[in-house]
Structure 1
Amino acid sequence: MAIVEADRVREKPTMESAPLIVHVVRQFLPNRGGLEDVVANLARQTVRRGYRVRVVTLNSLFTAPEEKLPAREDIDGIEVVRIPWSGSSRYPLAPKVFGHLADADLIHVHAIDFFFDALAWGRLLHRKPMLVTTHGGFFHTRKYAAIKKIWFRTLTRVSAMAYRRLVCCSASDLKQFSEIAPDSLLIENGADIGKFADTASRRAKRRIVTIGRFSVNKRLEHLLDAMAVLKTRDPDWHLDIVGAESDLNRADVEAAIEGRDLSGRVTLHVSPDNDAIRRVIAEASLFASASEYEGFGLVALEAMSAGLLPVLNANDAFTTLADRHPVIRLADFTNPEAAATVIEAAYEGLSRQPDVVRSGLLDAARGYSWDIVAGRYIDLYRSLDVIAAEGT
């Protein structure tokens, strides 16, 4: 059924008649991270609008590759199909994806990886209209930067030609991908602003939260260096590190904490559920990230929706957010003394005007509601179907 008919479908949606959108993504629930949360939230919103949604993903998490997940599962009305894979987590090979596309009305690929290339080169096999969302591409670290640039300008450029639209989720992505796909669009990610809504402490506290997977590019060691400086200036400072194991595991992070003599001043929370994260946030006033690279900065927006004042490393994505929302504070986390000073200033400003700062944070976060962002994607889905119907 044509996606442009979705308004009629929404009146009396049925599993048989509703258009089917197939999202293809390397990792999905139960894994937690920015990419997984984006796909899950978009899929939920699309189901609510009367579409059928299938997510095709890998059958194990990169953090536990030997533990196989169910081959099929229903999560919040989303059909989840998990397929076997081999190779590296950086470029997992999963050719069985082609077996789950035949009934799709539209394929939505997420991230620039094997799926992006394979579905592009195999488009004569599935013959389905496709779009892709970049999610930061593959420049999350500077490692192999020269090879990545060659790959981007050759294979990625050719693969992009198979997609009806290339959607960038940040201004920095748009700047980069416009070089190989001039008609790229910008649809910034939404944030789940209800997940931790307005839960931060209403009294200013010298307590910081950082949330994100334990990846090298998050530069937790830089945040810990700043925390070591803060401890010497005021013993009340405390940092909660919340996240899931990735490039770094629990032992790696614990060693970094102990190596800076921060035991008792830093608490590590590995893979907590949302209720546990809310309890952590409820005791804190600030959010910090020393990440050297972000595709968009989703976690900062979720922190703002909770009422946490962000102090962020001045990477491209965070700088773009700060330019738009002056309440955000930027710091150079490669300089721990300077970063600590910015964190102290953020706390002082919050303690002077807690209600004003909190109101500004919550108002800024509301503009990234998934209801708004999903509407933009639905409009794009319809336009792609019109293009297909016209044979262009």
Structure 2
Amino acid sequence: MRAAMHENEPLESDAGGQEPVFAGDTLVHVVRQYKPSIGGLEDFVASLAARQQGRFKRIRIVTCDEVFRGAGGKLPAHEVIDGIEIERLPYFGSPRYPMSPRILSAIRDADLVHVHAVDFFFDALAFAAPFHGKPMVATTHGGFFHSQDYRLLKQIWFRTVTRLTANRYSAVACCSQSDYEKFSEIAPSKVRLIENGVDLGKFGDCGSRVPRRSLVTIGRLAINKRVDLLLDAMADLNARDDNWTLDIIGTPFDWSAEDVTRMIAARGLTEKVHLHIGPSDAQIRDILARNSLFVSASAYEGFGIALIEAMSAGLMPVVQRNAAFSAFAARHEGISLCDFTDPPTTARLIEKAHAALVKAPAAVRAQVMAVADTYSWAGTAQRYEDLYRDVTGR
């Protein structure tokens, strides 16, 4: 039976059948964006918190009170979603570095604080550590190197401010090998490699069983995802064979839906490329069901949850040769790496991947789903609980 069938298994029982060691404690996750916002960071925190229910007396998510680049206005200050308590704070400043002075009061009752991503919350809670005295762990989620913008400034900040703040955490969990290598440079005694878990049941085995000339990509419409380069490759594919189609699944970020629609039209791809803004999981399953290959032109990934989710669906991946995807491909077969800045060569690689799929569709689907199975959430959640035990001395 596939591992995806066991996604909701509880964590290991505590010794002797006793109640969990954190049963009397309050765990606070701090993350700049959470539901109803959609993205890899939000999905990760929601999935981890769901698997921690019953292990703690109380679990709370502390986040910002707006969906960045959304049009919905202020969200409720307090809400419960899927049984998890949400506390939302007003903020000011950039969505990349949202600042909220109320963060200290929001963690006042916490017995353990888990900070996600490297931003204002990461820095502020570290600088305030001597005052609040809470045990803290953090997860990197790619740091802040998702684009080449302000690269020199980012490097200086990383080697000064982030070096100081990272070393004030009890542990820093790196969610990819590339993150682990990066953060080892500034906090070697703090880093742990805990790769992201993926909800394999969400899209498990839903991709097309019949090979199609159909591509799909999933992710925010952020500049680092390089949808423009993906469309360039799609234009080259259609010049060679106009049977190719592309589904883009995402939410507005640096680019709006209108921006991407204009990019599609400018390349003459209106009939071949379909943009889906914020679909539900059920709708995404339906989209994946008509696709055979997953593509991503992303210049930077913290881990690449969408890649694993696509492979769990049985989709063959053709992805950008960035650090995270390259490290992943070095450990697993079935992933084609390319350079989307060279559209003609990328188009040929996509055709080559499709040809391999046509030769042995069942075997290729089984291979990529087997790779995805190794990223079950059960093991990841257990590794985080082990980390919590280490830093609290339990």
CA distance in 2, matches of 1:159, 1:169: 18
Structure 1 residue 78: Cα displacement: 1.3
Q: Give the equivalent residue in structure 2 for 1:153.
A: 159
SS of residue in 2 equivalent to 1:70: coil
> Which has the larger displacement, 46-55 or 334-343?
46-55
SS of residue in 2 equivalent to 1:195: helix
Do the aligned partners of 1:10 and 1:49 also contact (CA within 8 Å) in 2?
no
Alignment of 1:279-318 (within 5 A): 279-318=286-325
What are structure 1's unaligned runs of at least 5 residues? 1-5
Q: Give the equivalent residue in structure 2 for 1:7.
A: 14
Q: Give the equivalent residue in structure 1 for 2:66.
A: 60
Q: Give the equivalent residue in structure 1 for 2:329.
A: 322
Q: Give the equivalent residue in structure 2 for 1:78.
A: 84
Structure 1 residue identity aligned to 2:79: E
Is residue 139 of structure 1 aligned with residue 128 of structure 2? no
**For this pair of structures, how many residues does the alignment match?**
381
Q: Give the equivalent residue in structure 2 for 1:222.
A: 229
Q: In structure 2, do the counterparts of structure 1 residues 33 and 10 end up closer, same or farther at CA, with 3 Å as the change threshold?
A: farther
Q: Give the equivalent residue in structure 2 for 1:3.
A: none
Alignment of 1:241-390 (within 5 A): 241-386=248-393
Q: Give the equivalent residue in structure 1 for 2:75.
A: 69
Select 2:178's aligned residue among 141, 147, 172. 172
> Which has the larger displacement, 152-161 or 286-295?
152-161
Is residue 23 of structure 1 aligned with residue 22 of structure 2? no
Select 1:101's aligned residue among 85, 107, 117. 107
Q: Give the equivalent residue in structure 1 for 2:242.
A: 235
Structure 1 residue 125: Cα displacement: 2.6
Structure 2 residue identity aligned to 1:124: P
Structure 1 residue 109: Cα displacement: 0.5
Q: How big is each residue's C-alpha offset from its partner over 1:195-250, in whole Å with a ceiling of 9 and x where there is no partner?
A: 10100010000010000000001001111011011111112100000000000001
In the superposition, the TM-score normalised over structure 2's length comes to: 0.93
Structure 1 residue 324: Cα displacement: 1.2
Q: How big is each residue's C-alpha offset from its partner over 1:331-388, in whole Å with a ceiling of 9 and x where there is no partner?
A: 11100001101110111111110111111111111110111100000000011110xx
Structure 1 residue 294: Cα displacement: 0.5
CA distance in 2, matches of 1:364, 1:8: 32
Q: In structure 2, do the counterparts of structure 1 residues 24 and 307 end up closer, same or farther at CA, with 3 Å as the change threshold?
A: same
CA distance in 2, matches of 1:40, 1:380: 18
CA distance in 1, matches of 2:128, 2:21: 30
CA distance in 2, matches of 1:48, 1:195: 22
SS of residue in 1 equivalent to 2:326: helix
Identity percentage over the alignment?
50
What are structure 2's unaligned runs of at least 5 residues? 1-12
CA distance in 2, matches of 1:224, 1:244: 17
> Which has the larger displacement, 145-154 or 63-72?
63-72
In the superposition, the TM-score normalised over structure 1's length comes to: 0.94
SS of residue in 2 equivalent to 1:91: coil
Structure 1 residue 160: Cα displacement: 1.3
Is residue 187 of structure 1 aligned with residue 162 of structure 2? no
Could you say what the CA RMSD is over the residues aligned between the two structures, in angstroms?
1.8
SS of residue in 1 equivalent to 2:53: helix
Q: In structure 2, do the counterparts of structure 1 residues 147 and 9 end up closer, same or farther at CA, with 3 Å as the change threshold?
A: farther
Q: How big is each residue's C-alpha offset from its partner over 1:245-288, in whole Å with a ceiling of 9 and x where there is no partner?
A: 00000111001000000010000101111111111000010000
Q: How big is each residue's C-alpha offset from its partner over 1:163-213, in whole Å with a ceiling of 9 and x where there is no partner?
A: 001111111111111111012111011111111010001000001000000
CA distance in 2, matches of 1:31, 1:66: 11
SS of residue in 2 equivalent to 1:74: strand
Structure 1 residue identity aligned to 2:156: I
Q: In structure 2, do the counterparts of structure 1 residues 19 and 293 end up closer, same or farther at CA, with 3 Å as the change threshold?
A: same
CA distance in 2, matches of 1:163, 1:244: 32
CA distance in 2, matches of 1:383, 1:359: 37
Q: In structure 2, do the counterparts of structure 1 residues 358 and 352 end up closer, same or farther at CA, with 3 Å as the change threshold?
A: same
Structure 1 residue identity aligned to 2:352: A
Select 2:43's aligned residue among 15, 25, 37. 37
Q: In structure 2, do the counterparts of structure 1 residues 315 and 14 end up closer, same or farther at CA, with 3 Å as the change threshold?
A: closer
Structure 1 residue 124: Cα displacement: 2.5
Do the aligned partners of 1:228 and 1:262 also contact (CA within 8 Å) in 2?
yes
